Structure 1
Amino acid sequence: MATIKLSKTNVDRLTCPPNQKQVFLREAGGFGVRATANSKAYIFQGKLDGKVIRMTIGDVETWFLDEARKEARRLKTIIDSGRDPRVIRDEAMAADAAKREKAKQEETPALEAWAAYIQARAPKWSERHKADHETMSRQGGEIITRGRRQGMPDKKEPGILRPLLELPLKQITRDQVAAWLEVEAAKRATRARLAVSLLATFINWCSDRPEYREQVNADACIRMKKDLPKPAAKDDVLQREQLALWFEHVRRIRNPVQAAYLQTVLLIGARREEVATMRWEDVDFKWLSITIHDKVEGERTIPLTPYVKSLLLNLKRLNDLPTVVNINGEKQEPSPWVFSSPTAKNGYITEPRIAHNRAIQAAGLPHLTIHGLRRSFGTLAEWVECPAGIAAQIQGHKPSATAEKHYIRRPLDLLRMWHTKIEGWILEQAGIEQPREEAPRLKAVNGGMK
């Protein structure tokens, strides 16, 4: 094709005939202009390794002719050096996109990484641990519909970690965390201690992720806990003389699941979540045992004592009723959970504190947490001179002494003897008669054992 010297005049006059897709005007060196029915643009064309390379420089309405010619000479220089200008262009675009993405990430609140962290790790967490992460990062402003005490605001406050997580990761520095901690520790030291722990784990996770590694300050939480006051030892327990009042008012709770749950926590000394997540398949009414899914050891088996058995049998009878309906008036299938709740997302009881707080308030008793009931079991067990190792094994405390760790493996019958004695004494102080029941025993049948 013949070449000409491009000018603004011949560029402006160039049009594409109706019977053609495109037409060209070219200069020597590969610079030219291409016209189609709807557009007109400056182009460059050259050869690299015998192959034709054509690139669009830009629209004639946007580019000045001399600037377009200069760009064409640059592209020809690249080809003459043996490189493909298209590859260079793509690399530059990718680098620019990466730069923009990095700038965007550096401005994005850490909440985005926090959400990714929860999604990645939550399958391995307990429900309580997940709830802690959600509570500490919540936006706040939601209306409090349950458990609101007198004098409390009617809306939820933002989570304790929210001010930090609204910052970009790069701005969560050690100085920033220290300034935040100084304020929070003065108001709620215990909550701040847990918050620092959760934040430190999140920071460590980000440090291991390539998409966050360059933004995160890995030392943001190092040794922060040392600036917090030592947590005070919890001492909320039921005293011997308080048992009668406590049982009287807990047994008056109209919801039988909540009433049975609270009594069970006290009488087996398990953790609140361990009791809440008990399934019917974990309860053996024949051999009088309960399998507890232990957060420390993985699983432990404890005795099913007479009074607790009566509580659970009553729940099972209610659970198996064919006429049970849910809150929508629909027939409800029997629940797999011992302490079921048709209103809870997971199907089992999740917030027993409200009913418990009302009961102890009505009884005129001091404030007592659900964990305080577990603590009460260990304390009250001393009244029957139960060996500390027995109570610890029932409760699922991690063994401490060498003998406990490596040598002592108590059979269920030995645990049952002491556990039944503990339950009987507690009930006696409460003025409740313990059901009589013989422990299951093996018996000889035709020379064998059954």
Structure 2
Amino acid sequence: MRVNLTAGRVDGFTPGADGKQAFLWDSTVPGLAVRATAKTKAFIYQGRIDGKALRVTIGDVKTWGIDDARAEARKLGTLVDQGIDPRLEKKQRLAEVREAQKESKRADATVADAWSDYIEARTPRWGEHHRKDHLKISKPGGEPRKRGKGKTQPGVLTPLLSVKLADIDSHTVGQWLQKEAKDRPTQARLAFALLRAFLHWCDDQPRYRGLARPDACSTRLAKQTLPRKGVKADCLQREQLPVWFDAVQKIHNPVIAAYLQILLLTGARRGELSTLQWADVDTRWGSLAIRDKVEGERAIPLTPYVAFLIESLPRRNEWVFSSPTAESGHLVEPRAQHTRALKVAGIEGLTLHGLRRSFGTLSEWVEVPAGIVAQIQGHKPSATVEKHYRQRPLDLLKQWHTKIESWILEQAGIKFEPPVAGQRLRAVKQ
């Protein structure tokens, strides 16, 4: 039955006596009806497409007025006349809305949003030191200092974290870099390099592609804004070896004292050595397995004095240079103790990397072939180092490495007694 729908007729319409759904069809707009069930009453549209019946719910009668329901039914009828299924059209329209909302949310992503994703994704491929660099430059600051008074400063990258990723361009980066380079040039240089790598990563990720501009951190911008980077020359001189060893050996923490000495005597990178495990120490064949960033892993000689230092360390866990307070379980930051030792020794400006540099420089006193030193330290093969790069056997490396160690100890005034079968190693300060 078709009737002219009115408010009274809609309100008074009820389902059948048996509780089954009933329809009250509108005489004004074809296909429009009120469907009543035991629980709901709603406007619906019914038509046929491709010879098959279709029914679309317009909405509850409490929400939709009659005129609005008629207008919607006419739209649905128009679509059906065009051979368009309103259900599919609605589904497509909702998908477009969701996609637009998703794109809007993506476009609103800040540097902080992407930065946390970046660290999480790249951490498995980074060394501990590199990961900490990323965390350090993005720290919010404002925490009580562990040493001294006051609170910590925000990381150098912090001003950019709240900026939308899409707004990071060369102008924004230039303004940030100019300000930070005045106060913290070294940290600004590091942050600029890390930011550039981050933007390139974002450009490769579907979630952030099209938002990040890798060219925002151009080499030209760095040259124009950052102060010229000087060549680092911090290095222990032969005459400084006695006072340096004396000050370092007086450090109360035996793990740090051994670590610093071995850092000098192996020329290893600080992160390579701090993550050395007991399983990497081969006393039978006299070698250390060092995980490096060039070859992935290299074997270097376990020289007598280094073996003596390692043997004296406590075996708390799997790490040779263990730390009961560090979350990682191994030594992370020995700079404070080294700085105090340098002050006692009267040596200024010697970094931990300077100890690695010192190994290469001091080796020249023993006239060691440059290729030997390069292989021990894990440098990339270079034609400028020697005409033909050769991978030398461990025995040959050990012959030269032991000679380097003996010379350094001699200059430091340390009389070291080589091991005798069945006895422990012993070192005596002259």
* Aligned residue among 340, 351, 355 for 1:373: 355
Query: Aligned with 2:24: secondary structure?
Result: strand
For residues 395-443 of structure 1, give each alpha carbon's deviation from its aligned partner in whole angstroms, at most 9, with x where no partner exists: 222232267374433333332232222222221222211222599xxxx
Mapping for residues 6-85 of structure 1, pairs under 5 Å: 6-16=5-15, 19-28=18-27, 29-85=30-86
Mapping for residues 312-327 of structure 1, pairs under 5 Å: 312-315=310-313, 318-319=314-315
Please state how far the C-alpha of 1:19 moved relative to its aligned partner.
4.6
Q: Aligned in 2, Cα 1:21/1:406: closer, same or farther, shift over 3 Å?
A: farther
Taking only the aligned residue pairs, the percentage that are identical comes to 53
Q: Is the 8 A contact 1:21 1:36 kept in 2?
A: yes
> In structure 2, how many angstroms separate the alpha carbons of the residues matched to 1:365 and 1:177?
38
Q: Aligned in 2, Cα 1:193/1:405: closer, same or farther, shift over 3 Å?
A: farther
Please state how far the C-alpha of 1:184 moved relative to its aligned partner.
1.6
Partner of 2:190: 194
Q: Is the 8 A contact 1:399 1:405 kept in 2?
A: no
Partner of 1:445: none
Partner of 2:222: 225
The CA RMSD over aligned residues, in Å, is 2.2
Unaligned segments of structure 1, at least 5 residues:
320-333, 440-450
For residues 280-299 of structure 1, give each alpha carbon's deviation from its aligned partner in whole angstroms, at most 9, with x where no partner exists: 22222222222222211222
Mapping for residues 15-164 of structure 1, pairs under 5 Å: 15-16=14-15, 19-28=18-27, 29-145=30-146, 148=147, 154-164=150-160
Q: Does 1:171 align with 2:167?
A: yes
> In structure 2, how many angstroms separate the alpha carbons of the residues matched to 1:248 and 1:212?
54
Please state how far the C-alpha of 1:265 moved relative to its aligned partner.
0.3
Q: Which amino acid aligns with 1:434?
A: F
Q: Does 1:239 align with 2:221?
A: no
Please state how far the C-alpha of 1:349 moved relative to its aligned partner.
1.0
Partner of 1:362: 344
Q: Is the 8 A contact 1:306 1:435 kept in 2?
A: no
Please state how far the C-alpha of 1:79 moved relative to its aligned partner.
1.0
* Aligned residue among 286, 304, 307 for 1:306: 304
Please state how far the C-alpha of 1:88 moved relative to its aligned partner.
0.7
Partner of 2:428: none
TM-score, length-scaled by structure 2:
0.90
Q: Is the 8 A contact 1:203 1:216 kept in 2?
A: yes
For residues 214-246 of structure 1, give each alpha carbon's deviation from its aligned partner in whole angstroms, at most 9, with x where no partner exists: 322343223333322331112222222222222
Q: Is the 8 A contact 1:26 1:32 kept in 2?
A: yes
TM-score, length-scaled by structure 1:
0.86
Query: Aligned with 1:434: secondary structure?
Result: strand
Query: Aligned with 2:294: secondary structure?
Result: coil
Q: Does 1:250 align with 2:248?
A: yes
Q: Aligned in 2, Cα 1:48/1:160: closer, same or farther, shift over 3 Å?
A: same
For residues 197-228 of structure 1, give each alpha carbon's deviation from its aligned partner in whole angstroms, at most 9, with x where no partner exists: 22122212221222211322343223333322
Please state how far the C-alpha of 1:38 moved relative to its aligned partner.
4.5
Q: Does 1:427 align with 2:423?
A: no
Please state how far the C-alpha of 1:261 moved relative to its aligned partner.
0.6
> In structure 1, how many angstroms separate the alpha carbons of the residues matched to 2:14 and 2:237?
99
Query: Aligned with 1:249: secondary structure?
Result: helix
> In structure 1, how many angstroms separate the alpha carbons of the residues matched to 2:121 and 2:262?
34
Q: Which amino acid aligns with 2:196?
A: A
Q: Aligned in 2, Cα 1:287/1:211: closer, same or farther, shift over 3 Å?
A: closer
Give 4+ residue runs of structure 1 displaced > 4 Å after superposition.
16-19
Q: Is the 8 A contact 1:11 1:33 kept in 2?
A: yes
Query: Aligned with 2:414: secondary structure?
Result: coil
